[in-house]
Structure 1
Amino acid sequence: MPLTETASALWITRPHTAEIRPETLEAPLDDQVLVRALYSGVSRGTESLVFNARVPPSEYARMRAPFQAGDFPTPVKYGYCSIGVVEKGPETLRDKPVFCLYPHQTRYVVPASVVVPLPEGLPAQRAVLTANMETAINGVWDASVQPGERLCVVGAGVVGALVAYLCAQIPGTRVHLIDINPERQALAAALGVEFCTPDNAPTDQDGVIHASGHGEGLRLGLSLLGSEGRLIEMSWFGEGDTALALGGAFHSQRLSIKASQVGQLPAALKPRWDYRRRLMLALELLKDERLDHLISGECTFDEFPQAAPSLFGPRSQALCHRITYPVTG
């Protein structure tokens, strides 16, 4: 490899606008790898806020992705679910498919320590769900789900569907996935989860996990809880206020609201868990082929700038959108 090469990356150049820009790559050092991207996944909730310049100034530092370039609001190179193959690097990694928390880019050089080989039995095409699975795992941990509980997950996007999928595998747990879109029933059925729309959602629930990203969903979730019930908030609303009526059942039934955010491990797990161990768990859990139902669309990297406004728009019904990359960067 020459001293420098070029790659191509997706940049959000101004609100609601993306373009592909050239990037210069330095030759990898002995402790680095050169990765050629195969696929990347779009984390639509967070990336929609970034694309539409709705990251609050107070969160600019906390919302930085590991290899983000530029600054909020724009121009910025953002993303964190890249699946690629190691072209150059230590022999133990060379030619292996890996996951990396990297933005949408054709090739990149990173420390060898930050890439994780995909386990045997996990197709690279499905591994684009890795970041979403990590988020879902953290949400289940934060919810402290117990066997036999009655739970509702509000919002059948990728994260909500994954949370419901994980909770439904806890013995005796009765889980309902709730969404305003009745077409999400097919997704729930494919994942082995009961489904309902808000008008027939069960009440007196032990817990609710909210992942719809809308205030209406949060208010619905609180209304479904029984006495001493807990709501785990997984949505990130970005700019703006969300109104809640806390003067009625919230106090009389001693309800609680707790935030879950993938950037922090639950305190009780920190003595034995770290981010890499959680990542390895996410990769193992993605071996279930039923999870392919969460990938709702695909486009090439060159098509991504034109697809982005619709994908990140308010009417989008996309789940996980997969980006495919050319054979050469």
Structure 2
Amino acid sequence: MAWQYWTEAARQGGWREVPTPRANPDAGNELRITTTASAVSKGTESLVHTGRIPARVETLMRAPHQLGDFPFPVSYGYLGVGVVDEGPRDWIGARVFGLLPHHSHHIVTTEDVHLIPEGISDHRALLAGAVETGLNILWQQPPRFADRVAVIGAGMIGTATALLATRMPLDRLEIVETDPHRRTLLADLGLNAVAPDDASADCDVVIHTSGSQVGLARGLEITGDDGTLIEASWYGSDSPSVPLGADFHARRLSIIASQVGEVAAGHRARRTRAQRMSAALAALNDDRFDSLITGLSDWRDLPTVMDELSGKSGSDRSGLARSALCHVIDYTGAHAR
């Protein structure tokens, strides 16, 4: 038998047992993936778990291999790695990453998955989605030589973006983060992490990933005259207040939305999504990314993990909602039957 994780109602998720799928040997490019690990994308998946996907964007927010429809029941997720065990001979045994939900097995095509480069572990490969998002953010409004850049919010997306940005010839790169423990983690990675009150002003580009109204306001404060804030947070059904009064217009600030569903406009004519993902996987050849993996749970514990990551009252005894970056789900025991 095989297993699929479904959100049945708000804050109610569980595993469904289903027949083990088989690849069609006559399809030519069809593969069966046996999952080794998946990861929870805390921000978006918490909104799915709590039923806060706005009706008007339900179509836009569908994951590539999602089952069911928003709000419920829905089988969601887009960070999965596994091994090909059925399909064309030259694919058998290949380790692959895909935008796949939390299932023990998947039937996909060769176009749906990406080979994991040698030297990159399955768990690190789960960060490919975050790195792809960070790459898209940096393509959205590319910082220029000697620019001053700030990233607000050191979650999985913000930290991945900052690690990519360290490879650029910037004059200054600061990561603005409220949590002192996370600032220590960032410092250990060689990043310059500061509290919001200590953030430097006069930035050329500010990248906002904190998902908070306060973070957005601080981002506009430290953006320099004629500068740009890239809004990479998604708020679901919430409507944050954006401080467009005071000197916003006088300083001629720009706010640009960034969303990974499409290749950034500056590269869209020259890069496919598959090429962008290949670049993200190649960028993971950096041991610092392992520090973004902050937790590991058995697949059977995913319902509890989702409760904790979404901050369900009384369930967050471990502080998971506050501390998690990339939380990995291990499927070792899911294939024992």
> Match of 1:165, SS?
helix
Q: CA–CA distance in 2 between the matches of 1:284 and 1:236? A: 26
Q: 2:118: which partner in 1? A: 120
Q: TM-score, length-normalised on structure 2?
A: 0.93
Question: AA paired with 1:324?
Answer: D
> Match of 1:251, SS?
coil
Q: Which moved more, 1:180-189 or 1:313-322?
A: 313-322
| Structure-to-structure mapping, 1:1-16, within 5 angstroms | 6-16=1-11
> Match of 2:151, SS?
strand
C-alpha displacement at 1:76, in angstroms?
Answer: 0.5
Q: 1:144: which partner in 2? A: 142
C-alpha displacement at 1:113, in angstroms?
Answer: 2.0
Q: 2:327: which partner in 1? A: 321
| Structure-to-structure mapping, 1:99-178, within 5 angstroms | 99-178=97-176
Q: CA–CA distance in 1 between the matches of 2:117 and 2:161? A: 22
C-alpha displacement at 1:109, in angstroms?
Answer: 1.0
Q: 1:251: which partner in 2? A: 249
Q: 1:214: which partner in 2? A: 212
Question: AA paired with 2:34?
Answer: R
Question: AA paired with 2:129?
Answer: A
Q: CA–CA distance in 2 between the matches of 1:172 and 1:201? A: 16
Q: CA–CA distance in 2 between the matches of 1:273 and 1:156? A: 27
C-alpha displacement at 1:25, in angstroms?
Answer: 4.4
1:88 equivalent to 2:94? Answer: no
C-alpha displacement at 1:144, in angstroms?
Answer: 1.4
Question: AA paired with 2:325?
Answer: L
Question: AA paired with 2:49?
Answer: F
C-alpha displacement at 1:190, in angstroms?
Answer: 3.0
Picking from 54, 57, 70, the partner of 2:55 is 57
> Match of 1:9, SS?
strand
Q: TM-score, length-normalised on structure 1?
A: 0.95
Cα displacement string for residues 148-192 of structure 1 (whole angstroms, at most 9, x for unaligned residues) = 111110000010011111112211331100111111122212332
Runs of 4+ displaced beyond 6 Å = none
Q: CA–CA distance in 1 between the matches of 2:243 and 2:302? A: 41
Superposition RMSD on alpha carbons, in Å? 1.3
Question: Is the 1:300–1:324 Cα contact (8 Å) retained in structure 2?
Answer: yes
Q: CA–CA distance in 2 between the matches of 1:189 and 1:42? A: 25
Picking from 228, 231, 234, the partner of 2:232 is 234
Picking from 12, 15, 19, the partner of 1:20 is 15
> Match of 1:35, SS?
strand
Question: AA paired with 2:10?
Answer: P
Q: CA–CA distance in 2 between the matches of 1:304 and 1:270? A: 36
**Structure 1 gap segments, 5+ residues each:** 1-5
Question: Is the 1:149–1:174 Cα contact (8 Å) retained in structure 2?
Answer: yes
Q: 1:265: which partner in 2? A: 263
Give the count of matched residue pairs: 324
Question: Is the 2:21–2:106 Cα contact (8 Å) retained in structure 1?
Answer: no
C-alpha displacement at 1:23, in angstroms?
Answer: 2.6
Q: CA–CA distance in 1 between the matches of 2:215 and 2:273? A: 29
Q: 2:285: which partner in 1? A: 287
Question: AA paired with 2:171?
Answer: T
Q: Which moved more, 1:171-180 or 1:146-155?
A: 171-180
C-alpha displacement at 1:26, in angstroms?
Answer: 4.1
Q: Which moved more, 1:294-303 or 1:15-24?
A: 15-24
Question: AA paired with 2:8?
Answer: T
Question: Is the 2:140–2:266 Cα contact (8 Å) retained in structure 1?
Answer: no
Sequence identity of aligned pairs in percent? Answer: 38
**Structure 2 gap segments, 5+ residues each:** 313-318
Question: Is the 1:167–1:173 Cα contact (8 Å) retained in structure 2?
Answer: no
Question: Is the 1:228–1:256 Cα contact (8 Å) retained in structure 2?
Answer: yes
Q: CA–CA distance in 2 between the matches of 1:168 and 1:250? A: 29
| Structure-to-structure mapping, 1:28-43, within 5 angstroms | 28-29=23-24, 30=27, 31-43=29-41
Q: CA–CA distance in 2 between the matches of 1:11 and 1:99? A: 21
